[in-house]
Amino acid sequence: QDRRIAERVRSYTQGTATEGANPYDHLYPIPKEHFRRFLQLANQRGQKPIIVLTGMLPKCIRICGPAGWSARRAEVKAYLAVLAKTYEFRFADLSLPSTWQGSSTDFFDEIHLRPSGASKVVTRLIRLGAFRPASTAPTN
């Protein structure tokens, strides 16, 4: 796990894109425009999307935060605040496991949840009114 976290830190500090560029050094214009257009299209169709910032293993947050993760999180939240002036969407910042009562044991690796963690995230989203659970099990 520590090796994977170290690799993730390197991806923030050294970059993994071609030509040595750091793919996580800021929000890039083209993806931002695609995201804006997604919100525009959803709203035109009468939909109010749910935007969720997902969590990361607490140890990984402590290590990756200073390497750029915290700055990217702040930049994403600022961009969403700008978009909220024009578009309708719901926002849930679940990037810190404490917001959904998560812990290190809820993670399979540094970013992927075990079923216990996924259940906690879904429970939190239901409590936030992000969606209603189905009243019956799906049928085949």
Query: Model-level pTM?
Result: 0.75
pLDDT (tens digit, 9 = 90+) per residue, 67-86? 788 888 999 999 999 999 99
Q: For residue 101, is it left (φ>0), alpha (ψ between -120 and 50) or beta?
A: left
Are 5 and 63 within 8 A, CB to CB?
Answer: yes
pLDDT (tens digit, 9 = 90+) per residue, 16-60? 444 445 566 778 899 999 999 999 999 999 999 999 998 888 888
Q: Residue 113 has what DSSP assignment?
A: B
Euclidean distance between CA atoms 98 and 41, whole angstroms:
33
Q: Which two tokens stand for residue 75?
A: 């930049």
Q: Which two tokens stand for residue 18?
A: 């071609």
Q: Is 28 helix (H, G, I), strand (E, B) or coil?
A: coil
CA torsion sign for 98, 125, 60, 104 is positive
